[in-house]
């Protein structure tokens, strides 16, 4: 099969493209990514010259381009999005444009070209904060931020295309991912890179907010299984039942790097900050046999090690220097 992957130069998308090509030797990918500040060709530089991977720099909201790429492919796996909650609070418009309108453009093209699958990568944040217990797929959506509201809206559009047009869609809703190539504005890579630079680690509010951390390769395998064996029209939660406070994570990182806890700086809280996320992954476990296999301690240590070894990558990404570099190396205009 030939698959149109969107957002495959971002954090999860780049890990997924590499993983999927390894796991599925008969399949090939067209990777459509706009290369926003979060998209990085460094993340997929090892795929240069791979005949089963074609990179296209473009916007998922571009109907003509998406139509053309959909005509050449059999399925869509859709990662592309604006993803940072803090940015959505400051500038929500681009979240609406990409996450909602962009998804609509993809759905239309997928319908027109009678695709065999449309996998929509969503988030546990669409359920909102979970005071106790965990959320199942049928729980109502009460998103808190413009980011999660835009993702919830796109989920509803995807469901409507299944119900109204019979498009074979599947939605996955995963918890917070961590691993290599995550943009250092998200908690884990920001804290690792700041600690390595002996900069303050900004912890929002009391730091007792809880996230369920999922290693990115566990997530990639979940999507691989959903793609092959998931039931159309369904939603699958993906989580590792690994709830930790932000302070737990930050202290683990400082300890692993031998840095002092005095680097922690409690700062003003995020507006509308969700206290706790928790999803119940029983459905994907029982129906597809998926379960997370990476332990938080060892995979987080591996991740810290990766950032220690790739200071060039995150220094460039943090400074914005990579933009000029790409224009030179790849002839990509950003």
Single residue of 95, 181, 209, 307 touching ligand TYD by CB under 6 A: 209
Stretch that binds ligand TYD, among 22-30, 41-49, 182-190, 225-233 (CB under 6 A): 182-190
Q: Is 241 assigned a catalytic role?
A: no
Phi first, then psi, for residue 212 (nearest 5°) are -100, 105
Check 33, 42, 59, 125 and give the catalytic one.
Answer: 125
Quick one: 119 or 263, whose CB is closer to ligand NAD? 119
Q: How many residues does the chain have?
A: 334
Single residue of 5, 12, 44, 187 touching ligand NAD by CB under 6 A: 12
What's the CA gap between 62 and 180, in Å, rounded? 29
Q: Is 101 assigned a catalytic role?
A: no
Task: Read off the tokens for 163.
Answer: 């119900």
Give the number of other Cβ atoms within 10 Å of residue 51's Cβ.
Answer: 6
Give the number of other Cβ atoms within 10 Å of residue 1's Cβ.
Answer: 13
What's the CA gap between 235 and 220, in Å, rounded? 16
Phi first, then psi, for residue 51 (nearest 5°) are -70, -15
**Binding mask of the shown chain, residues 120 to 159, with x at each position contacting ligand NAD by CB under 6 A:** -x-x---------------------------x--------
Per 3-state DSSP, the chain is made up of helix, strand and coil in percentages (nearest 5) of 45, 15, 35
Residue 209: name its binding partner from ligand TYD, ligand NAD, none (Cβ under 5 to 8 Å by kind). ligand TYD
Stretch that binds ligand TYD, among 7-15, 185-193, 254-262, 285-293 (CB under 6 A): 185-193
Residue 190: name its binding partner from ligand NAD, ligand TYD, none (Cβ under 5 to 8 Å by kind). ligand TYD
Q: Is position 39 an interface residue for ligand NAD (rule: CB under 6 A)?
A: yes
Q: Is 147 assigned a catalytic role?
A: yes
Q: Which of 121, 152, 173 is nearest to 277 (CA)?
A: 173
Give how far Cα 66 sits from Cα of 70, 125, 201, 209, 250, Å.
6, 27, 40, 39, 41
Site for ligand NAD in 315-334 (CB under 6 A): none
Residues of this chain that bind ligand NAD (CB under 6 A): 6-7, 9-13, 32-36, 38-39, 59-61, 79-83, 98, 102, 121, 123, 151, 174, 176-177, 183
- Site residues (vs ligand TYD, CB under 6 A): 85, 176, 186-187, 190, 202-204, 209, 211, 246, 270
């Amino acid at each position: 099969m030939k698959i149109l992957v969107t957002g495959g130069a971002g954090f999860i998308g780049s890990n997924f493209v590499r993983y999927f090509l390894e796991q599925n030797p008969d399949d090939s990918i067209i990777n459509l990514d706009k290369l926003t500040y979060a998209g990085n060709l460094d993340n997929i530089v090892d795929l240069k010259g791979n005949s089963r991977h074609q990179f296209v720099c473009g916007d998922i909201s571009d109907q003509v381009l998406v139509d053309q790429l959909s005509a050449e492919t059999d399925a869509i796996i859709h990662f592309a999005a604006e993803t940072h909650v803090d940015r959505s609070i400051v500038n929500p418009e681009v979240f609406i444009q990409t996450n909602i309108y962009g998804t609509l453009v993809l759905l239309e093209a997928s319908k027109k070209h009678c695709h065999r699958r449309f996998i929509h990568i969503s988030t546990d944040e669409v359920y909102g904060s979970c005071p106790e217990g965990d959320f199942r797929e049928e729980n109502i959506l009460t998103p808190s931020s413009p980011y999660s509201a835009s993702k919830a809206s796109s989920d509803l559009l995807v469901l409507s295309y299944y119900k109204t047009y019979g498009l074979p869609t599947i939605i996955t809703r995963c918890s917070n991912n961590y691993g290599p190539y995550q943009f250092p504005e998200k908690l884990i890579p920001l804290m690792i890179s700041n600690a390595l630079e002996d900069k303050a680690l900004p912890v929002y509010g009391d730091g007792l907010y809880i996230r369920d951390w999922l290693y990115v390769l566990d997530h990639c395998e979940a999507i691989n299984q959903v793609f092959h064996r998931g039931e159309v029209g369904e939603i699958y939660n993906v989580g590792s039942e690994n709830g930790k406070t932000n302070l737990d994570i930050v202290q683990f990182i400082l300890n692993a790097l031998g840095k002092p806890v005095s680097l922690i700086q409690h700062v003003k809280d995020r507006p509308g900050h969700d206290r706790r996320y928790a999803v119940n992954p029983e459905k994907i476990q029982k129906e597809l046999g998926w379960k997370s296999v990476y332990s938080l301690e060892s995979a987080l240590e591996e991740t810290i090690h990766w950032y220690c070894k790739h200071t060039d990558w995150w220094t460039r990404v943090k400074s914005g220097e990579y933009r000029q570099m790409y224009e030179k190396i790849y002839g990509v205009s950003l």
